Structure 1
Amino acid sequence: MARKSKSAAGKTPFHAVVEKVQRGTISDKEFSNYFVAQPNPRQPFDFTIGINRAAVELQGVEKSGKFADALVHDASIGRDRQIRRAAPPKGFQRKSPIVAEGDSWFRLPQVIMPPTLIDVLQETYGYAIDNMAHWGDTLADMIQVGQFWPPLTSGQADTFLFSAGGNDVLGGDGGIARFLNLFDVGHTKPSDAAYYIKPEFYQNLRLIVQSYESLVQRVHLRAPNVIMLGHGYDYVIPRVDGPWIGNGMMYVGLDPTFRPALCQAIIRIMIDAFNNALAAFATTYSNYRYVDLRGAIGKTQWHDELHPTAAGAAKTAARFDAALRKLPKSGAFTAPLIASRALFGRAA
C-alpha cells in the first residue's frame, strides 16, 4: 500500500517532500510552501534554509530539518536538467554544457528567491549550463573543493563561468564594519567616502585577488582550451537594518536612512576596486574574459541588499549573453603555453 502524502494534521510528511525532490516532481507552489529562506547575517550572499513546519510534518524526524539546504540545492539542480535545451543559442559556437561555479549570483534557492543570471541564461537564452554554484560559498570554498575541474580538464567543456569574491570583499564572517572607520561629522559628503575605508579592506582585497588570479593561472595551464568569464558584481545598495551591509554600516554610525548617498559611495569604491582588479586580468591572461555588470541593475531592481530582482537579473544575463556570443568557436582558442609558464610565477 502506498504511503499517504498527507499527515493527520494536514501537513505533508517530510519523507514525501524528500521523495518529490528526488523524483523531480516538486512543483513551484509546493516548493515555496515547504521551504523558507532567511539571510545569514554572518555571511554575505548566504542564506539559512529551513523547513516550513506549518506545512511539513517533522514529528519524529526533527533532526532531518537540517538537510533543508541540501534538499533545496538538489531540487535546483534537478530543475536545471528539466529546462536544458538540446541546442545552444544562435551565435554561441562552443561546447555544451557550459560549466558554472559561483555564489548566490549564480544560484539562489529557487522560487523562494528571484532567478539569477544563470537561470535567465538557461531559461530565456537557451544555454545549457552545468551549474555547480551554491549560495554563500566563498572563493576559498570553490577553489578547495574544485568540483569544476573534471569537465574542464577532460575537454568535456571549454567555457567556464565564475562568480566569486563578493562575500570575501564585503567582510565575510567578520562583517563589513571591520573595514570601516567610525562616522565623523567632518566627513559627511559622498566625496568623503574614501575616508571611511580602512587599509585592512585593501589588504584583504589583495589576498582575494591573488587567490582569484591563481585560479585563472591554473585554468590557463591545466585546461588551455577553456575560456573563463568572471564578473565583479554591480553597485549593491545598503539598506536600513540590512543583514549584510546596512547593519554593519550602522554599527560604525553610517546610517543608510540619513546618509544614503555617502553609504552608497563607500560601497561603490569597494565594488570598483574589485572590478578593476578583475578587468586587469583580461588584459593579462588570454583565457580570461571580464564581464562588467556595474550599472546594469536599476536602483529599483534590487530584491535585497545584494541580489537583483528578476528584472535586474535579466539585465546582468544580457551582458553575459553578449560576452558568450563573442567567444571564438571551439577549437579556435588555445592558451599559449610559453606565456602561461611565464605568467604562472607572477602571483604572489
Structure 2
Amino acid sequence: MLQESIALGELKATAAMERRRGAAVTRAQALEVRARREGAALDKVGRAPSAGLLIAEGDSWFDYPFHDVLKGLEDLHGYDVESVAHKGDRVEDMAYSDGQLDEFTRRIEKMIRRGDRPRAVLLSGGGNDIAGDEFGMLLNHALSARSGLNRRVVEGIIDERLYDAYATIISAVTEVCQQMLGDKIPIVVHGYAYAVADGRGFWGGGWILPGPWLEPGFAQKGYVHLDQRQPLVRELIDKFNAMLQKLKAAPEFTHVRYVDLRADLQTYPEDYAIAWANELHPNAQGFATVAARFAEQLRELSP
C-alpha cells in the first residue's frame, strides 16, 4: 500500500510538471504569434487582421479549464471563435436535448444576420457518450470466452447512436446556412487520439470533470494492466474515427472535413505524459498540437 501511494504521488508530480511545461510552451507560442500579428498590417481601426471567424459546438476538448482546442485557435492561430461548447456534453444531448441544437443554429443565424460569415463550423463530441459511468457496458469480462469489446454494443453506440446524432447536427447546421447564405459552410469534425486508461482524473480526480473515466470500467471487468487495456482503447478509438470517415463520405456531407489526430499525440507505452494531462484530455502542449492540426485543415478551406 505504501509503495502504491508513493508511485501515485510520483505520477501526480510528473503530471503536474508536464502540465507546467506544456503551459509554458503554449504561453511562449502565444507570445510569438501575438508578436507576429502585431507586426502585421493593421486594419482601418488599428487591429491585427483575424484569420477568420469560427463557430463551435462540442465537449471538453472545446471547453476545458485553462487550455483547449478553441483557445489554441484563438491564441496561437489568430481565429475569432464563438462557442456554445460545454464540457461534459454528449453528442446525443447536442442533437436532441434541452434545445441545444436550436440554440446552436440560432447562434449561427444571428452571426450571419449581422453580416458575419463563418469560415467554418467546428464540432467536437463522442467521448462522453462512451466513457464514464457506463463504460464497462462496452466490455466483456476479461475472463469470459469473448473477452474484449462487446462488438454489438460498441457498434450500436458508435455506428448508430453517434452517427445519427452527428448527422442530425450537421444536417440542421447545413440547412440554416443554405437558407441564409445560399450555400454550405464547411463543417470540421475530429476523431480523438489514443487515450490512456491509467486512472488519472482531472487534477488527481478533484474539482470539475473529476474522472477517471476509463479505469473503473476496465477494473470492473477484470482488465488490470495497461497492456490489457490499451489494445481495446485503440480499437474503440479506431471505430469512432471510422464512423466519422463514413459520415464525411456520405453524398450529402461533401462539405464536412475530418481531422484525424491518432498520430499526433504520444500514447502508451511512449512517454504519454508529454501530451496527456489525464485519461481523456491533452495537456497544454497536447491541445496546442491539436489546435495546429485544426488550423492546418482550416487553411485548406477556400477563403
| Fold conserved between structures, TM > 0.5 | yes
The letter of the residue matching 1:98 is L
Match of 1:245 in 2: 214
What is the one-letter code of the residue matched to 2:50? Answer: P
Q: Which residue of 2 aligns with 1:297?
A: 265
Alpha-carbon shift at residue 227 of structure 1 (Å): 1.2
Q: AA paired with 1:124?
A: L
Identify the match of residue 156 of structure 2 among 203, 228, 232.
203
> Shift of residue 241 of structure 1?
6.6
Identify the residue that residue 109 of structure 1 maps to in structure 2.
65
Deviation at 1:312, TM superposition (A): 0.8
Of the structure 1 ranges 289-298 and 136-145, higher mean CA displacement relative to structure 2 is found in 136-145
Q: Deviation per CA, 1:306-333, whole angstroms, max 9, x where unpaired?
A: 000111111111110000001112xxxx
Q: Among 294, 297, 301, which residue is 1:320 paired with? A: 294
CA distance in 2, matches of 1:211, 1:247: 27
The residue correspondences of 1:1-348 to structure 2 (distance < 5 A) are 86-89=48-51, 96-110=52-66, 115-143=67-95, 144-146=99-101, 147-153=103-109, 155=112, 156-158=116-118, 159-170=120-131, 172=132, 174-184=133-143, 195-205=148-158, 206-224=160-178, 225-240=184-199, 243-255=212-224, 259-284=225-250, 285-298=253-266, 299-300=272-273, 301-329=275-303
Given the two structures, how large is their TM-score scaled by the length of structure 1? 0.60
Q: Deviation string for 1:288-315 (max 9, x for gaps)?
A: 1111111211122110000001111111
CA contact (8 A) 1:100 1:132 kept: yes
Q: Distance in 1 between matches of 2:192 and 2:141?
A: 26
CA distance in structure 2 between the partners assigned to 1:229 and 1:88 by the alignment: 19
Give the deviation of 1:185 after TM superposition. 8.0
Q: CA deviation digits over 1:172-220, x for unaligned, max 9?
A: 5x42111111112878xxxxx7x33342121122211111112222223
Provide the identity percentage. 31
Distance of aligned partners of 1:241 and 1:235 in 2 relative to their CA distance in 1, 3 Å threshold: closer
Task: Point out which structure has higher relative CO (alpha carbons under 8 A, 6+ apart).
Answer: 2
State how far apart, in whole Å, the 2-side matches of 1:293 and 1:283 are. 18
Higher helix share: 2
Counterpart contact for 1:161–1:230, Cα < 8 Å: yes
| Equivalent-residue separation in structure 2 for 1:185 and 1:98 (angstroms) | 48
What TM-score do the two structures reach when normalised by structure 2? Answer: 0.69
Secondary structure, in 3 states, of the residue corresponding to 2:169? helix
Q: Where do 5+ consecutive residues of structure 2 fail to align?
A: 1-33, 38-46, 179-183, 202-211, 267-271
In 2, the alpha carbon distance for the partners of 1:102 and 1:86 equals 28
Instruction: Give 3-state SS (helix, strand or coil) of 2:140's partner.
Output: coil
Cα distance in structure 2, aligned partners of 1:160 and 1:125: 16
- SS of structure 2 residue aligned to 1:148: helix
Structure 1: state its 5+ residue gaps: 1-82, 90-95, 188-192, 330-348
**What is the rounded CA distance, in whole Å, between the counterparts of 2:220 and 2:107 in structure 1?**
44
Indicate if the aligned counterparts of 1:106 and 1:117 stay in contact, CA closer than 8 A: yes
Q: Are the equivalent residues in 2 in contact too, given 1:101–1:163 (CA < 8 A)? A: yes
Aligned partner of 1:213: which letter? Answer: A
Partners of 2:299 and 2:247 in 1: how far apart?
20
RMSD of equivalent CA atoms: 2.3
Instruction: Describe the SS at the equivalent of 1:200.
Output: helix
Aligned AA for 1:168?
D
